[in-house]
Structure 1
Amino acid sequence: MQTTMLDAVSEVLAVAFLVYDRNDELIYASRLISSYFPVPPQFLTPGTRLRDYLGALYDAGWRGAAMGGKDQALQSREEWIAEHISAHWRERSEVQQRDGQNRWMRLTKRRLPSGYGICLIADITEQKKREEQWRADMERVQLTEEILDDLPQAVFVQDRNLGVVAVNKAFCAIMEIPSENVLGGTLASAFADEIASQLTDVTRHVLETGTPSATAVDLKGVSARGTRAVLRSQRVGKPGRYFIVTSFADAAQATSEVVAAACAVSTEAKSLPQQMGGRPVPTSAVHVGRKALLVTSDTEFEAKSLRTLQRLGLDACCVHDAAEQEAFLSVARSVGVVVDLIVVDIEMDVNCLEVAESYGVGTITLDGFQLDTELAFLVMEKLSGLEPSPHTEDWEISTGDGQAPASSEAATQLVLVAEDNDINQIVFSQILEGLGYAYRIAADGEEAVRLCAELRPDIVLMDVTLPRINGFEACRRIRAAERGSSRVTPVIGVLVQAFERDREECFAAGMNDVILKPLSPDAIEAVIARVAPELKDAFVG
């Protein structure tokens, strides 16, 4: 009964043990002893002398040390046995040792006042591995801290719970805060609430997607002189053990004109209302005449991107796949128009990047989250090294007296295009020339109304988002001017998105039909055939 109970205790505690009396004879050996010591079973039976048990252990090739640090190879069998018996007679003894299978065990020996001795054997392999890993981690942490402290730029590191786990000396100097006030806390312990919230959103996004981020922030008020900086974040580590490393731009870059302008424009892009209210964008941040192409099939991504690009002073338009992108760039090259930058939605096919590379145009890839935080800065950074744009004035596609050439049969068939975007003007001109129509382009709504009265075109293609007055108002003025006469000029509304409210507003303004961007020859030909069949018939005739 006692043996059964002792075996159960041994197995529950996962500890093997020997019990021997004052005459050094075994009175109990748990079943787990055989998993540690390779001795024949007869040497574990009650009554076996401790000397015989140790001799069998030695003969079996086990050379566990009684005392750490001694050379066991120089000991004879008798010396080895005598030293181990001596260890068993100590009041307290504990040693950790490794066997031939690279397994670590702890032997704890006690000699009780009654003379009975107990030896407990526990497997501590996993514990030793954890200790070794902990030491290795500590060495890496120490090395990492030394490396970080030697970096000239400020750096902070966050774990997957968004807690700050490391900062370097440069960070503490810039933020004027001791490291102990930051470590273990959140970004709120180092940054103002608004900036901490912004950076936390960025960190969470980088953590979830693995997409590196560059965020411009204004640190004014942290120090007496104030600082504007660009913070670059990236994810490192393995799944389940990710860290986010964020570094500040170096001092020269952080104070450069490009970064300062990018910071201002990034703030503007998030805070300005639809009509560019609030403080103006710095002139150094405006790239008037630069041309950007957006590649996305997401309408929200398109709207946000175009709004930011236009605020930066760029002429921008959108295509929706690699085929449209290829066709667009081909047309632009054929007429000598340089596209300076292509912004690609990260959800698009990789072919979009390959097309851009084949035409030698620089690209920016972003996802929807990064539009608010990074697009303005990345555009500024990308375009900062380019030569000044040769297009410093308003530009429209026209030749001679402003009327595009066409075949003699169709020379009297004039199409008026109301479009303010340079690149979309290229598309319109190439399509209409290909179809054989003469055309004229108006760059704003008021010019469209004036040219419609002067030229009396056969049809008007009216973009609804025009400067000065929009396409809806321009159409209403055209209709008002025609009131009382027999003339009714067909007007086609050109929309970016197929929202029903926009369609309804087009028809309410007096338009005859609508067409959606991106434009194609087939779509334009079809809408002309619908609203002005006589124009189509005259051309065919």
Structure 2
Amino acid sequence: MNDGASIDADIQSGMFDAACDLLGVGVFVYDRNDCLVFASRQIHRFLPIPPDVVRPGARLRDVLGAIFDAGIRYGIPPEQRHKVINREEWISARISAHWREQHEMVERLGKDRWVLFRKRRLPNGYNISTLSDVSEQRKQEEQWRADLERVALTEQVLDTLPHPLIVKDKNLAYVAVNKAFCAIHGSESGAILGRTVWDLVDAENATRIDTSDRDVLETGIPFRCEERIVGTDGSHLYVVTRKYRIGSPDNFILITIMDDVTHIVEPKEEMAADGVTLRATTRFRKAEVCFDPVREAETRLLLQWCQDDETDIAGKRILLVTPTRRTEELLIGQLQARGADCGAVRSLDEFYAVLDAANSYGVGLDLVLVDDTMDGYEAIAEAGGLSVRVVTPDRIGVDFFRALVEPHAAAEAMPTDVLTPSALFDDWYIATDADAMIVQGDIEVLVAEDNQINQFVFSQILEGMGVSHRIAENGEEAVALWRKHQPRLVLMDIAMPVMNGLDATLEIREAEKTLHTRTPIVAVTAQALNVDMQNCLDAGMDDYITKPVSPDMIESVYNRFVTQRRAQNAA
């Protein structure tokens, strides 16, 4: 009878274990005395504890102690995770939670791993605890939350735009509109979304808009037109409408952007026939997407021939005579920005033609700028009745380089009311401090260890601390990974194949002389003799720890060489 019961129990235990494997969960079953009755094989995927600890009959306290010793600290509030945790206090807190009728929590074990702990106390006193990996679900939740934040931010950005913007689906129904578009129709977005253009405007305009929408959706060719839109309040809006198709073939989306140009155009009665013209007061200033110090220095040095303490060019009529397009581009934009009414000619014939035309209309020239690189410029310089100033762009030579290299010296030769080239270089400097050029790596700790069991121990401890790390199996690989990742700390085993830890440290220290950096290296050795410790220090290591390592030992080293150093740099 006993043999039969034992066989049945083994079969049931095996089936239970197989079910746990299929479900991917780890299961503990404790009796009313907190002694272990069953532990599935899956628990070793979650908890790095020795197999003999989870044998039937083991006490709950002993299992929790083994979990603590393996570096796992679940159930600790976030604000206390960086403090030293007392072993007995942690075990007592876990036993207290163990005796709740129901208990559930999600804990982060490692950098990217989340585990769901569930406990249920049955009426007969037995306790069933399960562990399941919810990392993918947690990542999806975080991604979903990030997507919602991006959507909310995008909506805020679109509503801030002064130009109307519309998004339509493949059925040409409105799926997104901003406030500027809603203002045209005098409606809220809720009254527009889900509807079509046929619900918002008259049949004639709806036909025109619908036709262009469908053409863009079918062909993918962008559409552009100028429109005058009359709002519900009777106001006129002049826009340049552009339509684009985006998305995949099975789910195209139509984007319509209306650039509001009302403030820079002069309306005409018949816009469809004649269009609009720019207002007379409209001036476009040239701008660039990048700063060119050479061009800026050259422009400022050229301007010193155009402006001095006695000449205010604002409102003046200025004619530039130059055969060089670059000189024209540099000066005309600057003169216009300073309020001058200016233009340029490329030859003597063009100059005299402009002069005759100006005289015939009774328009005088306040200043003529003549480029001395043009043939015959002397004739203009000697002309009577004109205020002429000679510009010498080809002879800025030394002054130009002084403006780049010694801006303050070059400024002495320039008028006081002209911006000096030094303004260009106030934010420019050459970094000579090596620490300013150090780039932190993409991992925090590099572990050089050839023993697989010790590798596993290091990984579990560092994952439990939430520290990113890489494992090197020998000294040569450690040097290669150090060069690639530039970690903040290296834990270096001394006795390794291919290259030992001492030689690897010497090679790293030699490379750091060129890079002007220094990575803390802590020796991990099974020897505790003074001579071995001195060899580590002589090789350039910063400290040493002895095996077997513990979570408290690694956490102490990490705080001393990484956390405290980061805090000092921040200060």
Fold similarity call, TM over 0.5 = no
- TM-score when normalising by structure 1: 0.42
For CA contacts below 8 A with separation 6 or more, give which structure has more relative contact order: 2
- TM-score when normalising by structure 2: 0.40
